[in-house]
Structure 1
Amino acid sequence: MAVPVNKEELIKAITLNYSKLKKELITIPSELTSIKELEGHSKGTVMSINNLLSYLIGWGELVLKWIYKKEQGLPVSFPEEGYKWNELGKLAQKFYIDYQNYNYLELNTKLDKIVTDIINIINSKSNQDLYEIAWYEKWTLGRMIQFNTSSPYTNARARIRKWKKENDIKD
């Protein structure tokens, strides 16, 4: 799918990519979700399915936080307070720790809610708000949302499909 350039395409990309990811997630036995066998977000690391969900949740929550703070006129630390853009591997590790006490079902439920919240925010915005105004440096709000939702959902699905194939897990 091409990079979304308007509100309708953004909603479609998030909805489609998330629905494809969910189809993969529902076929994973929960007892396998905490085993660290997937390539991690930092070079030379491994992660579990639960870590991968934690990563997606962490980024989704950051998107919501950025939007909320901007709307309140508060300063926003991008990507997150205490992290620089060249430290995303460390940020991924933080997300794994943040959600380490959640089980697979809870992580799925939390991610579902975040995706719904983000789509609701997109629906509340005009196309101009999303794609015609620089929101962070040169990036529009729509692009910042897409970078941290639909694109990572596609990447996560590919990681899961590779892991399922390596472990002979059928759909």
Structure 2
Amino acid sequence: MIPRNKHSLQDAIRKNYAQLRTELGQDLAPISDLPELDGHVKGTKMSLNNLVAYLNGWGQLVLKWIDKTDKRETVHLPETGYKWNQLGLLAQKFYTDHEADDYLTLCRKLDETVECVQLLIESKTNEQLYVKSWYKQWPLGRMIQFNTSSPYTNATIRIRKWKKIRIQQEQSP
């Protein structure tokens, strides 16, 4: 269900992130750098580390957008130097930004980003999040959801699919 107010947005992030976090168990750390998951660009592969870096990158962008908006500064969407048709390049930037981080550090950073997003949402009124348009026809709450709770669900599905394939490969002779 698509969140339509502040509280449903907070609940969606909490629920979807809890499911994702369950899939991101510490037992995956030894294989987290293997490029085995379907990538963000068609026909590419990425590692679990890349996926976590990607999610953190988008969460950090959400925080940046709102910080700049609150300061009445210009916001370049999706990111300075990138257009909406360059999201594959932006994903690569996120991977590069975090390539020195190990899996547990990436997961910790993502936990912190999600907590900051939740605190930011808490600081906003329902009107600020859902009544006014923030970007084109989209209210701020919807833009937050597009870049947090929805990708958490997508990532959970990717990880489950990857785990299932790995188990099948281990069991086949």
For normalisation by structure 2, the TM-score amounts to 0.95
Count of residue pairs brought into register by the alignment: 168
User: Aligned residue for 1:44?
Assistant: 43
1:1-171 correspondence runs (5 A): 2-26=1-25, 28-168=27-167
Amino acid aligned to 1:112: D
Q: Give the CA deviation at 1:43.
A: 1.2
Runs of 4+ aligned structure 1 residues displaced above 3 Å come to: none
Equivalent position amino acid for 1:55 in 2: Y
* SS class of match (1:29): helix
TM-score under structure 1 normalisation?
Answer: 0.96
Q: Following the alignment from structure 1 to structure 2, what is the Cα–Cα distance between the partners of residues 118 and 29? A: 25
**Separation in structure 2 between the aligned mates of residue 44 and residue 21 of structure 1, nearest angstrom:** 24
The answer to whether the 8 A contact 2:34-2:48 is kept is yes
1:136 CA displacement: 1.0
Unaligned 5+ residue runs, structure 1?
none
Structure 1 residue identity aligned to 2:6:
K
CA distance in 1, matches of 2:156, 2:81: 29
- Contact 2:26–2:104 at 8 Å: present in 1 too? no
Could you say which residue in structure 1 is the equivalent of 2:171? none
CA RMSD of aligned residues (A): 1.0
Equivalent residues of 2:52, 2:110 under 8 A apart = yes
Cα offset, 1:27, TM superposition: 5.5
Unaligned runs of 5+ in 2: 169-173
Distance 1:28 1:166, change over 3 A: farther
1-structure distance, mates of 2:85, 2:27:
32
- 2:20 is aligned with what amino acid? L
Deviation at 1:29, TM superposition (A): 2.5
Q: How many Å apart are 1:138 and its aligned residue?
A: 1.0
Alpha-carbon separation, structure 2, partners of 1:29 and 1:131: 37
